[in-house]
Amino acid sequence: MEGSLPTPESQGYVMGTNPCLDRCWQYFNECIAQGKDQNECLAQLSYCQRNCAEQAPPEPAPEPTPAPQTCGQGPCPTCETELQMSNPCVLEAGHGGSHQCPEGHSF
């Protein structure tokens, strides 16, 4: 055989991290051990690796960060009187103390 044969390590792969790629390397080693043509074994390895890449599941989407729950206490007396609006408290639920409307009034 001419040239050195690739190994998982020389290809930057760590055995045991992907069952599909592990099988590719197993088939490659068996092919070489059987005395088959090195180029044929390399072609089969390459084909197998491409198939593993195509079968890889897509990365899951990150979980959305839930919006913090707002207090909702209200309505703000200043907004009701001066603006004729009914604005609830916009601070995070369980904040304690005085409330604040979207207009910035404390109540």
Lowest mean pLDDT among 22-31, 53-62, 78-87: 53-62
Cβ proximity of 78 and 98 under 8 Å: no
Amino acid present at 53: A
Confidence of residue 79 (pLDDT cuts 50, 70, 90): confident
Assessment of whether the complete model's pTM goes beyond 0.85: no
Contact of 90 with 70, CB cutoff 8 Å: yes
Predicted pLDDT at 58: 67
Alpha-carbon torsion 31, 35, 41, 44, what sign? negative
- Provide the 10 A C-beta neighbour count for residue 100: 18
